[in-house]
Amino acid sequence: MIALCNQFNFDSFGSCMDEFFQSSDGDVATQVLQFANVSGSDGQYICAKVINKSCPQPTAIKLDLTHYFSKPKPPNARAPPPSGRKSVRVLHLSDFHLDPRYDNGAEADCSQFLCCRDGSVKTSSPNKTVIPAPRWGAFFCDTPYDLAGSVMQAVPELAGVDGSFEWGIFTGDLISHDNDNALGRAYTEYEEVAVFSMIKQIVGSVPVYATLGNHDGWPQAFNTPINLGPSFVGGQFSWNYEHVSSLWEKFDWIDSASQNFAKVHYGAYSMVTKFGLKVISFNTDFWYNDNWFNFVDTENPDISGQFRFIADELQDAEDNHQRVWIIGHVPPGWDGFSALPNPSNLFFQIVTRYSPHVIAEIFFGHNHEDEFAIFYANNATNITVENALMTQWISPSITPLSNLNSGFRAYDVDPVTFNIIDAYTWFSNVTAFEAINNQTKGGAPFEFEYSAREAYGGGINWPTGAPLNATFWHHVTEQWEANPALVETFTAFQGKLSTQTRNCTSSACTTSKICYARSGSQPISALCPFGSEFGSVQ
């Protein structure tokens, strides 16, 4: 693998030795090549995703859903009307990426990955530190403990109602962005304990429903379907599912039945809150394109069985008149950069089957940016306000990496319908961290950024008390079409008001962001005319 990487210049983190050494990703690569059908679709995906896009990525297969749903969608399925009751406050944290190796004063603009570390160097200035890393964080670095402490102090004071929440969600990624050869099982378990313990400290007895991100394991992003080869192959990552699920149970975030399920089902579980809301958490690594095990049996959209699990849980909720939140990490839509076609297409069909009468909201993280994407009926073949069914909320990150401010979010939620009435985001200005480097009291300051209802609802005269549902967000994209300057407002929020955010003033960028916002799966976003070129502000 190392020789092939050097010969053909594979995409790799660091050197080919760093990427494909046995204690890094070489062991996984050889397993994938053993089990994959390299002369068929599997080989096409490997060629497209690993070998510098040398082949075109296969398009989505035609799904056979004849026997996938046990019952047809009820006629005239509708979301319940707003209850009119006082909303409850819900916390949303995502993409923590704690870096316990962060070194104050180290090079923050280094020429290698990850910066703000002992030994970080800028090649053009090897004997002088160009930008010393402030104690609170930097644009090319992950979250130092000092910034983590500032977040933990700010969250209940700024985002809570009287300092508290009714529940919280965490949409993945605890671990720093190191190459796999600089990580390990003990390091991963340490970070999982550290971050979840900090969150537990600020929420107290309030449950937080968490999901696994692509950086929440080792080697990162890799998860095997349990039926892949001998048990020691299919179960090689079970240690992590057992570890995180035991933490969730220890902190009273899930019960023992959910923990027993999660530890043998890739960290996935469902829980019913005291309000009656069902929360379904699943492992999105099974559509993430950096999970090389997804290149085995690529024509099967559900190699893990997770989407069967989600559909069954939603059917149970429909039968029992329950409302559902779904939480994951890697979004299936937006610019479609991270998700594979077949599983994200299957998820899209599941969402359209059970929306909007069962599913109330869907949440992801991963992109580190503030984004949303809409699911439409009939595979989005007719993108109209009448066909807008469901929204995926893509949360901003706590880590500043890369070129972003640090941020977090909270929602006002209808306690009966469980739809979001408003969303609030706070941020901390990374550009100002150097100036407060020597302060002796207080942490990195966080300030209010915006209310989604106020920022986007004025132009469409959205009714008071009506949820910020897919209809609302479709109207927002119509406003963008009528007045492209409004896309610049969204773009500023996308980067959490970072001074490094790329603007969006060209017609190509505006067209792309409208297209991304209307793309609920990878096959749909793949139709956007400029690809993923304008998907990120980083």
Q: DSSP code of 467?
A: -
CB-count burial class (<10 Å; 0-12, 13-18, 19+) for 27: middle
- The residue written with tokens 């696994």 in the block is 212
Which H or E run contains 327?
Answer: strand 324-327
Q: Which residues have a Cβ under 8 Å from the Cβ of 312 and sit 6 or more positions away?
A: none
162 appears as a binding residue in the annotation:
no
368 appears as a binding residue in the annotation:
yes
95 appears as a binding residue in the annotation:
yes
User: Which residues are registered as beta bridge partners of 388?
Assistant: 376
214 appears as a binding residue in the annotation:
yes
215 appears as a binding residue in the annotation:
no
321 appears as a binding residue in the annotation:
no
170-197 average pLDDT score = 96
Query: Among candidates 172, 244, 168, which has minimal Cα distance to 208?
Result: 168
Q: How many CB atoms lie within 10 A of CB 11?
A: 12
For the stretch 319-372, pLDDT in tens is 999 999 999 999 999 998 999 999 999 999 999 999 999 999 999 999 999 999
Q: What's the pLDDT score for residue 465?
A: 92
SS3 for 387-400 is HEEEEEEECCCCCC
Contact status, residue 538 vs residue 532, Cβ threshold 8 Å: no
Q: What's the pLDDT score for residue 301?
A: 97
Q: How many CB atoms lie within 10 A of CB 461?
A: 7
pLDDT band at 9 (very low <50, low <70, confident <90, very high): confident
Return d(Cα 90, Cα 165) in angstroms, integer.
Answer: 5
* Mean pLDDT score of the chain: 95
366 appears as a binding residue in the annotation:
yes
Contact status, residue 417 vs residue 467, Cβ threshold 8 Å: yes
Contact status, residue 313 vs residue 320, Cβ threshold 8 Å: no
Q: What's the pLDDT score for residue 315?
A: 98
Q: Name the least confident of 7-16, 245-254, 360-369, 525-534.
A: 7-16
Q: Please tell me whether residue 305 adopts helix, strand or coil conformation.
A: coil
Q: What's the pLDDT score for residue 372?
A: 98
- The residue written with tokens 């699990």 in the block is 309
Token couple for 383:
């993108």
pTM: 0.97
For the stretch 49-58, pLDDT in tens is 887 677 888 9
**Domain architecture of the chain: domains with CATH:** 1-51 (no CATH), 88-102+143-526 (3.60.21.10), 103-136 (no CATH)
Q: Which residues have a Cβ under 8 Å from the Cβ of 197 and sit 6 or more positions away?
A: none
